[in-house]
Amino acid sequence: MASTGTRPVAVTLNSKERVGLEAMAADAEAPERMRDRARIVLAAAAGLSNSEIATEVHTHPATVRLWRRRWAEGGIDSLHHATPEPRPGKSRGRPLEPLVVSDEARHVLERWVRRSTVSAGLAQRARIVLAAAQGATNVEVAESLGCTPATVAKWRGRFIASGLVGLSDEYRPGRPRTISDAQVEEVIVRTLKEAPPDEATHWSTRTMATAAGHSQASISRMWRAFGLQPHRVESFKLSTDPHFVDKVHDVVGLYLNPPERAIVICVDEKTGIQALDRTQPALPMLPGSPATASHDYVRHGTVDLFAALNVGTGEVMTRTDKRHRSIEFRKFLDLVADQVPADVDVHVVLDNASTHKTAGVEKWLKRHPRWQFHFTPTSSSWLNLVERWFSELTTKKLKRSTHKSVRALTDDLIAWADAWNANPRPFVWRKTADEILASLRRYITRTLDSSH
């Protein structure tokens, strides 16, 4: 049979005591703690349990037990805090420094006591401070909360000195370090400058741990601290175009500040799009399982896609062909020229492919004086916004689709472009030319230790 716990101290009141307590509880000029003590005694006399009284008065059950017992021992005079007389043969000791809790701090302390997510230690410290703020001595608080007077004195002093911050744990250094700074430096330098002894291309935490004589976890912490990830490789190519800076300013200027009465079009080809059919049917996505497809495929041919992105509207003009020679490129230019207004200038951003610079293209430009080509720097296709549209096409259509013929692939490409143009979304260029060049300068300085 479960125990019901210690029976609470009985509280009885005569009519004079009840009138006095009711007056004290209603006195707006009396200290709040005195009004709370009066309400505690009145509720105890009404037969409420300690938990019920604590909920009603917004305090802790330990505080209720304290003032219930104090009333039973000394009546109404016991509700006023007074320094206890020393026991025979015992010194009085140092007087307690007053502990005052503001309304804001009390709200935080009571929230810490109630919340189950707060650590037990912090909740206990909050109970100590709340009980001490009621005027109880360290011994009384310790007895009511089941701790030692030294613990009460410690957290009383910490709260008086630092407030709520003082109730948090102080920094603990932990055990002494076993790996010196020199050993950490040796691991980092070895990671950056040396190759693994097993003829691998890069270190792993375990091979470095074996070579350096440390644990795998220690190597992992060192690499994280210095931002080292030997297993990762990112692709990047620096442009060697002698006019790189000028071309960046030219192209980015068109994006951020296009000329008046002109449109900006980004043109490029996505060549060799494969009509792929999986060797087995793909399985749909299920709860807890992603969609699956076989790793091998059957190729039914390829097609080239020409695309022209209107930077201002986000609309895309497309054309498919079996090849991507200069003649096919000129046919695509004719298609675009038929769809743009006749009274505006056209600025075309495109890369340095040889099909874009043939004599036939030069003649086409002379027949269309409103058109002007702006070439991106070599190895800098990221400057061409139509590449962003090609990325959408790849990730949202081509990567998971299957086609049993080139005709089916072509129809799918045209259908996807038509769906895009039904609700076009222009891509907004954010970086200025100066920001791009500054970022590139930082990259070169960091990786090549060079400022040019």
The tens digit of pLDDT for each residue in 221-266 reads: 999 999 999 999 888 788 888 899 999 999 999 999 998 889 999 9
pTM of this prediction?
A: 0.58
Query: Which band of pLDDT confidence, cut at 50, 70 and 90, is reported for residue 126?
Result: very high
Q: Indicate the SS3 state at residue 102.
A: coil
Residue 1: predicted pLDDT: 40
- Is the pLDDT confidence value at 311 over 50? yes
- Is the pLDDT confidence value at 12 over 90? no
In the block, residue with structure tokens 């027949």 = 367
Residue 323: predicted pLDDT: 87
- Is the pLDDT confidence value at 369 over 50? yes
Residue 2: predicted pLDDT: 42
| Most confident range, picked from 155-169, 212-226, 271-285 | 212-226
- Is the pLDDT confidence value at 379 over 90? no
Structure tokens at 353: 């492919």
Query: Which band of pLDDT confidence, cut at 50, 70 and 90, is reported for residue 81?
Result: low
Query: Which band of pLDDT confidence, cut at 50, 70 and 90, is reported for residue 451?
Result: very low
Q: Please state, in angstroms and rounded to a whole number, the distance separating the CA atoms of residues 65 and 450.
A: 75
Counting runs of H as helices and runs of E as strands, what totals does the chain give? 17, 5
Contact in structure between 326 and 289 (CB atoms under 8 Å): no
Residue 94: predicted pLDDT: 65
Mean pLDDT across 175-196: 90
Mean pLDDT across 320-337: 90
Degrees, nearest 5: CA angle 219-223-229 = 120
Contact in structure between 40 and 9 (CB atoms under 8 Å): no
Q: Please state, in angstroms and rounded to a whole number, the distance separating the CA atoms of residues 332 and 306.
A: 7
Contact in structure between 323 and 399 (CB atoms under 8 Å): no
Query: Which band of pLDDT confidence, cut at 50, 70 and 90, is reported for residue 92?
Result: low
Percentage of residues of the chain with pLDDT beyond 70: 94
Percentage of residues of the chain with pLDDT beyond 90: 41
DSSP H helices, 134-167, are 138-145, 149-162
Residue 23: predicted pLDDT: 84
Contact in structure between 342 and 315 (CB atoms under 8 Å): no
- Is the pLDDT confidence value at 3 over 50? no
Contact in structure between 427 and 385 (CB atoms under 8 Å): yes
- Is the pLDDT confidence value at 10 over 70? yes
Residue 433: predicted pLDDT: 92
Q: Please state, in angstroms and rounded to a whole number, the distance separating the CA atoms of residues 38 and 134.
A: 12
- Mean pLDDT for the chain overall: 86
Mean pLDDT across 128-150: 88
